[in-house]
């Protein structure tokens, strides 16, 4: 899959100079499966009619009837004409959708650099029918990743919740925390129990009020916000990417009041993006969940290192989706400031500020910040080819990693533990040992360390994923890409 060749407006705080060179539920490579090759030569013409046996026709009908398991609408792939011809046409539409997604190439944003591979649905179907391996072919179409399969189960769970009426929105009011009482506490308990099987089903109550006059009857106790409910709130906050304080503040209330249909749309949008990935992922790779602000290094297809990351700001600083390879690591990198950032944010501060921050004006009017601990790139930069001029890098601004919403760059990815990542990528290299990396950084000279075996890097956008406990986790849709994707798919359907 070729990367985009046209630069777009997204540039990163770390600079626009490109030097040659998936968090909980991040993408994992599918487990080895039996070979299902359909490449045996056969006397088939691309335009030859496809003839189905009764058993094959029944299998296709059953598959299309169950297509909603993949996030499609019921009857979305109903045959448009009677007989085998209509069934075959519907199957080709279904195969394309479940294999490569429903979004036409023209519907992709320029910074959605992950694109599905070309797929010949009709040719694959014809071959599968001819070889009498239709069932195996149909099973090979959806993404063979645990992350996709668990979202399928999450989709079923949230559809059941929708069928039962979803959940009631929490009423507006002050913060709810330990010791609170009243109807709002009871409503909170009911809301949490819809998604969390471990949430308390019975709210603790205050002791009955003592009688105020002889012969008076004590009123029953009010619902109480107790420790069990506080722990349930914390679990919900973690699932939604919020700071787990156990206090229902405005942001927590807003997340809990998100309608169930919106959650279903998020699940379906993420299932679509799974279809943009290649059929397999390299066993050694770096993955960034842009929406969650988390980087994970995989070795032998297992998580080996994880850290927080700061990704691009919405409305012009979005971190793009892409796949590439880290080919080198720059130690003590200078920052060649993109012209737009220099004009908007730095030159207005004056020459005195620029000099004090280590900037110098280059011949031609460009701006460069000299390497050092105070540089915007910090002490380490990870280079990989891409048309967006983005990369992974260190930063002197460590405070951003403490936030639960980490959207602060101009498109690049700032790393919480860049030195640990550099050492892990260079592990086993006889030249770039940990001691050599440390000594080079201490020397202050800009040095490029070539990665002997380039490491794959994926920048992904997961706003819905399932954790090992079986719970669907949601993140904000900071760039509005879930909404945009679903809108563009719907518009294609209306135009068809």
CA nearest to 158, candidates 248, 242, 239: 239
Q: Please, what is the angle between helix 121-130 and helix 83-100, to 10°?
A: 120
- pLDDT value at 227 more than 90: yes
Spatial distance between the Cα atoms of 137 and 128, rounded to a whole number of angstroms = 6
pLDDT of 30: 56
Confidence of residue 34 (pLDDT cuts 50, 70, 90): very low
The more confidently predicted of residues 385 and 374 is 385
Alpha carbon dihedral 173, 178, 180, 182, in 10-degree steps, equals: 90
Task: Specify which residues 303 forms β-bridges with.
Answer: 298
Cα dihedral across residues 352, 357, 363, 366: positive or negative: negative
pLDDT digits (tens, 9 = 90+) for 377-399: 999 999 999 999 999 999 998 88
pLDDT digits (tens, 9 = 90+) for 230-255: 999 999 999 999 999 999 999 999 99
Residue 3 pLDDT level (bands cut at 50, 70, 90): very low
- pLDDT for residue 488 is more than 90: yes
Q: Which residues of 409-443 are buried (b: 16+ CB within 10 A; e: fewer)?
A: bbbbbbbbbbbebbbbbbeebeebeeebbeebbee
Res. 433: pLDDT tops 80? yes
Position 495 scores a pLDDT of 61
Question: Is the confidence at residue 37, as pLDDT, over 80?
Answer: no
Q: In this predicted structure, what is the pLDDT of residue 44?
A: 60
Residues with Cβ < 8 Å from 35, sequence gap 6 or more?
none
Q: Is the model's pLDDT at 346 over the cut of 50?
A: yes
Per-residue pLDDT band for 496 (boundaries 50, 70, 90) equals low
What are the residues facing 181 on neighbouring strands?
224
* pTM across the whole model: 0.86
- Greater model confidence, 318 or 348: 318
Q: Tokens 């990989």: give the residue.
A: 384
Average pLDDT for the chain: 88
Domains of the chain: 54-160 (no CATH), 170-206+219-256 (1.10.101.10), 281-334+371-462 (2.40.440.10)
């Amino acid at each position: 899959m070729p990367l985009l060749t046209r630069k777009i407006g997204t540039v990163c705080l770390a600079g626009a100079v490109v030097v040659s060179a998936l968090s909980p539920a991040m993408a994992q490579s599918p487990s080895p499966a039996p070979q299902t090759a359909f490449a045996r030569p056969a006397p088939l013409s691309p335009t030859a009619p496809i003839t189905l046996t009764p058993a094959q026709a029944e299998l296709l009908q059953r598959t299309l009837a169950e297509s909603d398991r993949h996030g499609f609408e019921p009857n979305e792939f109903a045959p448009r004409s009677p007989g085998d011809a209509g069934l075959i046409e519907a199957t080709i539409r279904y195969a394309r959708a479940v294999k490569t997604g429903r979004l036409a190439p023209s519907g992709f944003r320029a910074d959605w650099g992950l694109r599905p591979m070309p797929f010949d649905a009709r040719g694959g179907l014809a071959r599968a029918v001819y070889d009498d391996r239709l069932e195996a072919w149909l099973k090979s179409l959806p993404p063979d990743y645990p992350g996709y399969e668990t979202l399928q189960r999450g989709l079923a769970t949230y559809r059941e919740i929708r069928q039962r009426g979803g959940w009631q929105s929490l009423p507006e009011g002050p913060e709810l925390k330990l010791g609170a009482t009243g109807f709002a506490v009871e409503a909170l308990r009911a809301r949490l129990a819809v998604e969390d099987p471990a949430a308390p089903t019975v709210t603790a109550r205050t002791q009955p009020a003592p009688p105020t006059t002889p012969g008076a009857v004590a009123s029953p106790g009010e619902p109480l916000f107790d420790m069990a409910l506080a722990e349930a709130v914390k679990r919900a906050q973690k699932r939604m990417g919020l700071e787990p304080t156990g206090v229902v503040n405005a942001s927590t209330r807003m997340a809990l009041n998100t309608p169930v249909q919106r959650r279903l749309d998020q699940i379906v949008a993420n299932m679509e993006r799974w279809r943009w990935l290649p059929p397999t992922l390299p066993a050694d790779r770096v993955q960034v969940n842009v929406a969650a602000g988390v980087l994970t290094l995989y070795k032998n297809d297992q998580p080996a290192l994880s850290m927080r990351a700061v990704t691009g700001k919405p409305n012009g600083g979005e971190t793009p989706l892409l796949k590439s390879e880290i080919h080198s690591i720059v130690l003590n990198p200078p920052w060649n400031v993109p012209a737009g950032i220099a004009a908007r944010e730095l030159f207005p501060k004056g020459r005195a500020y620029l000099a004090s921050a280590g900037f110098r004006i280059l011949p031609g009017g460009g701006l460069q910040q000299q390497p050092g601990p105070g540089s915007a790139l910090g002490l380490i930069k990870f280079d990989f080819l891409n048309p967006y001029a983005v990369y992974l890098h260190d930063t002197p601004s460590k405070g951003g990693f403490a936030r639960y919403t980490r959207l602060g760059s101009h498109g690049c990815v700032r790393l919480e533990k860049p030195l640990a990542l550099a050492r892990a990528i260079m592990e086993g290299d006889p030249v770039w040992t940990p001691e050599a990396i440390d000594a080079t950084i201490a020397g202050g000279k800009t040095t490029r360390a070539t990665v002997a075996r380039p490491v794959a890097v994926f920048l992904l956008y997961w706003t819905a994923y399932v954790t090992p406990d079986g719970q669907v986790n949601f993140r904000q849709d900071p760039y509005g890409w879930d909404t945009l994707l679903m809108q563009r798919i719907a518009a294609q359907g209306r135009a068809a």
